[in-house]
Structure 1
Amino acid sequence: MSAQRLGLRNRLVSRGSDRFWRSLPLMASLAMLALPLGGCGTGAIWDKFLAKDEDKFNDEPADKLYNEGLYLMNKEKDLKAASKKFEEVDRQHPYSDWARKSLLMSAYSFYQAGDYDSCIGSATRYVTLHPGSPDAAYAQYLIAASHYDQIPDVSRDQGRTEKAIAALEEVIRKYPTSEYANQAKQKLEGARDQLAGKEMDVGRYYMQKRDYTAAINRFKTVVTRYQTTRHVEEALARLTEAYMTIGIVGEAQTAAAVLGHNFPDSRWYKDAYNLVKSGGLEPTENKGSWISKSFKKLGLG
């Protein structure tokens, strides 16, 4: 190696050596900072940090979580917190009997809190996972009740009412002998009454607009589909009015006659009777009319 190259190497080594020795105090300081992590001074802090991660994997007893949920629901009235406890049982112990119970209690807590979508989700999952359970009927009923409690005013879209009717009919069909079937039947009448009310509301609107054909179609829906609701009396009276107005007096007479036969004390019958009489006619039933046939099907005629 030439003297020139040898001199250059020695200078580089010297510079590297100087740089190394100059960095020693800094390295020593860093080492001193790191040492306490394993020692006594900050060991407790490090242990707490690790413990938090370990807790994520330490399952609590299912019965403890379940009872805590019951306490929060019944004593503290904290339904949201109770739901979380019940969901935690299902998460930590998914195949246990406690999980099955907690899933139903979670649905109930959501329902009581007015969180209907979450209730429907939990109850649907319960019915899917435990269709043969004695509590499946109640879970199905919670689904129906959640839809029912969201039925809107007759002036709004009745899609939720349709869902409520379908869910209530499901309770009655699947669990006809359960106590919830009777409750579902009562709610079903209320939901059907709501749909009939919607038809009447639209029918009256068409009457005001003098669109009598459209109005008749709405009242016809009430008579053919919702005969057991409180709106059927008015529907027959409105049919009498609409048919008289457009000159189909035979149907007007039949509507008035069927109304009087089935609801003789109704104030709507008095209106229909007076309307027919004002035209020099009498309420007379045509057995071949769709109105008469509709009532015959249900044994009301």
Structure 2
Amino acid sequence: MGKVCGSTLSKSSARFARAFRLVVPLLLLAAAGCDLQVGDGRKATLTYTDDARGAYEEAMRSYRSKAWEDARALFAEVRKLFPYSRYATLAELRIADLAFEQEQYADAVSAYREFIQNHRTDRDVEYARYRIAKSLFRDIDDTFLLPPQEERDQGTALEAYRELGAFLRDNPRSRYAEDVRKMHASAQGRLMRHELYVARFYLRKDIYPAVLARIDHALKLFPGSALEPEALVLKGETLMRMNKPDEARAVFQKVVDGYGGPFAVTAKGFLAELDAQKATRKQGT
């Protein structure tokens, strides 16, 4: 118990000493304010900036060493003691980064959005938007204890997909664009798989209009997905079951003409089946 109390007092004393060391120059400047000359104003500004930088760098040392709580307290000190410095703005952003690094993604999103709200024209707004999108993407639950991805609610994935897409539209040449494109494609694939999962559920129940509606909705909502040929083959198969051979043929032909890979092979197999059915009907007549 004594050791715990001693440790706590030691940390508190250290923080007090840091704060005292940062505040004293400001108090001395204020006390001598009436005697300052014009040149002294520039010195005061430099002292304020230097002290702010020193306090921020001290907080960053704790941040880099992953002493998260110490870093949080020190960044808060920077914001409190030097509110008119650039370092107060940076400290606010780093507090959001703290939540991100600790995988507290909902808190990180909230903090980054607050930063953007407070500093709409700041040069780091692009970074904050990138981290919002990345936080949402990482918050998509991948635990194996839950049902497969396609069976889960996709609300978070959809929000991440939209945020990532908005970032790319607004910042196509950003240094973060490549990473965002990868996350966007991954989120899109997850959402498309979910739509196909639901479509197959309806297919097993022979609810064919619902299958087509789900596939068409997915193709419209997630254009360019790598799962497009799979979705089209499923649509063609559904049209065959609905006894709409001409529409099914058009869909399968689209897959053969526009896509390679295994689903083009599957589409060719269905086209051959349609040809055989057509030949049988002719013989019957």
So what's the TM-score if we normalise by structure 2? Answer: 0.72
Q: What is aligned with 1:68?
A: 58
Q: What is aligned with 1:4?
A: none
Q: What is aligned with 1:109?
A: 98
Deviation at 1:70? 1.4
User: Which amino acid counterpart does residue 104 of structure 1 have in structure 2?
Assistant: L
Q: Tell me, in whole angstroms, the C-alpha distance in 1 between the residues paired with 2:210 and 2:228.
A: 17
Q: Are residue 269 (structure 1) and residue 269 (structure 2) matched?
A: no
Q: Deviations over 1:38-89 (max 9, x none)?
A: xxxxxxxxxxxxxx9xx69958454344223211222x32234323322332
Q: What is aligned with 2:170?
A: 174
User: Which amino acid counterpart does residue 147 of structure 1 have in structure 2?
Assistant: L
User: Which amino acid counterpart does residue 167 of structure 1 have in structure 2?
Assistant: E
SS at match of 1:119: helix
Deviation at 1:193? 1.7
CA contact 1:80–1:110 (8 Å) conserved in 2: no
CA contact 1:79–1:110 (8 Å) conserved in 2: no
How is 1:194-205 mapped onto 2 (pairs within 5 angstroms)? 194-205=190-201
* Alignment size in residue pairs: 230
CA contact 1:244–1:252 (8 Å) conserved in 2: yes
Deviation at 1:160? 1.0
- Structure with bigger helix share is 2
Q: What is aligned with 1:23?
A: none
User: Which amino acid counterpart does residue 113 of structure 2 have in structure 1?
Assistant: T
User: Which amino acid counterpart does residue 96 of structure 2 have in structure 1?
Assistant: A
Deviation at 1:214? 1.1
CA contact 2:56–2:91 (8 Å) conserved in 1: yes
The 1:59–1:197 alpha-carbon spacing in structure 2 relative to 1, beyond 3 Å, is: farther
Q: Deviations over 1:205-259 (max 9, x none)?
A: 1112222221121222233332311211111111111100110112110110000
Q: What is aligned with 1:41?
A: none
Q: Tell me, in whole angstroms, the C-alpha distance in 1 between the residues paired with 2:215 and 2:249.
A: 16
CA contact 2:109–2:132 (8 Å) conserved in 1: yes
Aligned-residue CA RMSD (Å):
2.7
CA contact 2:249–2:274 (8 Å) conserved in 1: no
Q: Tell me, in whole angstroms, the C-alpha distance in 2 between the residues paired with 1:72 and 1:208.
A: 57
**Which of 215, 218, 221 is the aligned partner of 1:219?**
215
The 1:176–1:273 alpha-carbon spacing in structure 2 relative to 1, beyond 3 Å, is: closer
Deviation at 1:131? 2.2
Q: Which runs of 4+ in 1 moved over 4 A?
A: 55-59
CA contact 1:111–1:146 (8 Å) conserved in 2: yes
Deviation at 1:172? 2.6
Q: What is aligned with 1:125?
A: 114
Q: Are residue 94 (structure 1) and residue 83 (structure 2) matched?
A: yes
Q: Tell me, in whole angstroms, the C-alpha distance in 2 between the residues paired with 1:228 and 1:184.
A: 16
Greater Rg by CA: 1
Q: Tell me, in whole angstroms, the C-alpha distance in 1 between the residues paired with 2:249 and 2:163.
A: 39
So what's the TM-score if we normalise by structure 1? Answer: 0.68
Q: Are residue 260 (structure 1) and residue 256 (structure 2) matched?
A: yes
